[in-house]
A and B are shown apart, each in its own frame.
Chain A
């Protein structure tokens, strides 16, 4: 306070356009703090998972990723069979779900009579709302026996020369059942994103193709699919991320077999997330707990990569279509 205002002009100072009001500061401060909290939360998740897996990272190193087997008695731990199970189930589910989802999206945007569109869209999104534990329960008791009695023997007898379709196992639970369950779970995700992408294709492009005499399918193949290629790839990646991270339903239907790497899809197996769901409470040693944190770290890193990539693709698509980018 080097100068003291004696003239009282401060009270009648002309409006300068920027007055700091305490209320603004309070609201901006609290909201900013909450936003900072969200960022800190993300950092904390990464930090805690890394911290928990430090013991396993230092003792088991990268060999953990290749070693097959989970043996608490001799403290031999490895993620090999879980990585295999995760890769097989999620890629299998992606291969089954993508064509179905694209078909649904094309049906909803190009083919369906207008009175069906809204209800079918709502039904497909309802499928995404079913909790994974309910789908898993249905998978154990209804789907597993159904696949065991009808689908697996048929696949084995017709396509048995492919090693993927070996001898069915008597429980009906295994990687194949997990693939079917995961397909059901990621189908609505890929379908609803693709539907929005297809709705964003400019009608003049579609009309130009149809005006040149293409059939509807040729228009889809020549205009819609190339135009939305990047976005569909992002939708598939998001579906893959969901399939890889799904723990409960897979733990229920994959059979929970830890030490097996077999190309026969009808055998039991386990995934990274399924192993975590089944074993976390029964962990007996610090090293085993830390090894489970290591599995979680693999899942976390994968989900970070998937989401950053998908987001960058979606933003690029949105910018090209001149939509609001936020």
Chain B
């Protein structure tokens, strides 16, 4: 065989070259898609940071808004920050015990068929759009009793419940059965096995699930529009029976305005909200990875 023939055999055929070109093109597209996602995140976060950080000052957190302000009056959104604290705090207090109990029932007690049914209920609850939850609470509470922070926190609690329950079910399922069997074998009743042996193993996971749920609902606007937004007072108000302003609703209202001063405060509030959500959800994720690794390594 001559050298020319050999090199012709070694050269890739046109067909192979075409296949490799298609492959390279597709790989490039996948790289670009990932780069685009990261770039979008970067652009959104950096434009909120750029516009928000320059507007950020102590007045935002300590001063009340001034309606129909003329000129450069010093004003802030203190009522929105206190209102968000009250509403999210109440929602968390309502959800955590119920969500954990639901998860305990699903994972430790329920017969298989009921467990499947409850899994479906939790999935469907998690899928209801936030705005529909807001309208549900409007029909349930607000039509009869008017708006209040309590109604708003109930709406947020409905959104949080499936998250907390799902997260708790996931960590409960990670606890090895040998642990339950050991406790039951030593004669411990089921309730002590569950509350004293199984549940303490999952505290880390439940806390991260709860923090993620808080980070998610802290930015929710839709359910609060109909439940806690009308007739809000301008000063700091901690009374859960009043309708309280919240940070997301304040951003929504300010963003619809034509006034550039309103936009500036909207950016500053968005910056604070975004930093809170990013810090809490990133630290929760970090904690989750740690506690999952610990559970996977086996029980101490």
Contact = CB atoms under 8 A, between A and B. Distances in A.
A277 B22 CA distance: 46
Given A44-B140, A300-B132, A31 B255 contact: no
Contacts of A154: none
A51 B190 CA distance: 42
**Size bin of chain B's contact surface:** 35 or more
B48 interface: yes
A131 B102 contact: no
Interface stretch (A2-10, A72-80, A135-143): A135-143
Contact of B173 (A188, A191, A326): A326
Interface string A291-309: 0110010011001101110
B148 interface: no
A193 to B, nearest CB: 13
A133 B223 CA distance: 12
B218 to A, nearest CB: 8
Contacts of A140: 255
A125 to B, nearest CB: 8
A277 B273 contact: no
A303 B190 contact: no
A164 interface: no
B223 to A, nearest CB: 10
A245 interface: yes
B299 interface: no
A137 B51 CA distance: 12
Nearest to B114: A35
Contacts of A21: 189-191
A137 B255 contact: yes
A199 to B, nearest CB: 15
B186 interface: no
A30 interface: yes
B250 to A, nearest CB: 9
Interface string A93-119: 000000111111011101110000000
A122 interface: yes
B127 to A, nearest CB: 4
B14 to A, nearest CB: 15
A27 B27 contact: no
A245 B44 contact: no
Nearest to B192: A23
Interface stretch (A200-208, A211-219, A257-265): A211-219
Contacts of A217: 22-23, 26-27
Contacts of A66: none
B47 interface: yes
B129, B192, B194: residue with the most chain A Cβ atoms closer than 10 Å: B129
A197 interface: no
A68 interface: no
Contacts of A133: 219, 221, 248, 251-252, 255, 270
B87 interface: no
B278 to A, nearest CB: 7
B19 interface: yes
B37 A252 contact: no
Nearest to A275: B131
Interface in A274-323: 276-277, 280-281, 292-293, 296, 299-300, 303-304, 306-308, 311
B37 A127 contact: yes
Interface of A: 21, 23-24, 26-28, 30-35, 37-39, 41-42, 44-45, 48-49, 51-52, 99-104, 106-108, 110-112, 120, 122-127, 129-138, 140-142, 184, 187-188, 191, 215-218, 220, 238, 241, 244-248, 252, 273, 276-277, 280-281, 292-293, 296, 299-300, 303-304, 306-308, 311, 324, 326
Interface of B: 19-20, 22-23, 26-27, 29-34, 36-38, 40-41, 44-45, 47-48, 51, 97-98, 101-102, 104-106, 108-110, 114-133, 135-136, 138-140, 158, 161-162, 165, 169, 173, 189-192, 194-195, 215-216, 218-222, 225-226, 229-230, 248, 251-252, 255-256, 263, 266-267, 270, 273-274, 277-278, 281-282, 285
3 smallest CB-CB distances across A and B, nearest first, come from A131-B219, A245-B129, A103-B33
8 contacts: A44-B136, A102-B33, A134-B270, A184-B40, A247-B129, A281-B230, A304-B128, A326-B173
